[in-house]
Structure 1
Amino acid sequence: MDLTGKLAEAFSTQVTLELTAATVYRQLAVEMDVMSLPGIAGWFRAQAGEEIVHAEKFITHMTDRSAHPKIGEQPAPEVNVKNVADAFAASLAHEQKVSEAIRELYRLAQTEGDIDSLPLLHWFIDEQIEEEATVSEILDRVKLIGNDGSGLLRLDAELGSRSSGD
Structure 2
Amino acid sequence: MELTGKLAEAFNTQLTLELTAATVYRQLAVEMDVMSLSGIAGWFRAQAAEEIVHAEKFMTHMTDRDAHPTIGEQPAPQMNVKTVADAFAVSLAHERKVSEAIRELYRLAQTEGDIDSIPMLNWFIEEQVEEEATVSEILDRLKLVGDDGSGILRLDRELGTRQSAGE
CA distances 1:102-130 after superposition (whole Å, capped 9, x unpaired): 00000000000000000000000000000
**Using the alignment, how far apart are the partners of 1:30 and 1:162 within structure 2?**
17
Superposed CA offset, 1:45-71 (max 9, x none): 000000000000000000000000110
Structure 1 residue aligned with 2:28: 28
1:37-95 CA-partner distances (Å, limit 9, x unpaired): 00000000000000000000000000000000110000000121010000000000000
Q: Alpha-carbon deviation of 1:134?
A: 0.2
Partner of 1:14: 14
Amino acid aligned to 1:124: F
Show the 5 A alignment for 1:1-166: 1-165=1-165
Alignment gaps of 5+ in structure 2: none
Cα RMSD over matched residues?
0.8
Deviation at 1:164, TM superposition (A): 1.7
Task: Tell me how far apart the structure 1 counterparts of residues 80 and 26 of structure 2 sit (CA, whole Å).
Answer: 14
Aligned residues: 166
Separation in 1, partners of 2:101, 2:72: 15
- Distance of 2:41 and 2:54 partners within structure 1: 20
Q: Percent identity?
A: 84
The 1-side partners of 2:9 and 2:163 are apart by 34
Distance 1:79 1:19 in 2: 17
TM-score (norm 2): 0.98
Query: Post-superposition, which runs of at least 4 consecutive aligned residues in structure 1 deviate over 2 A?
Result: none
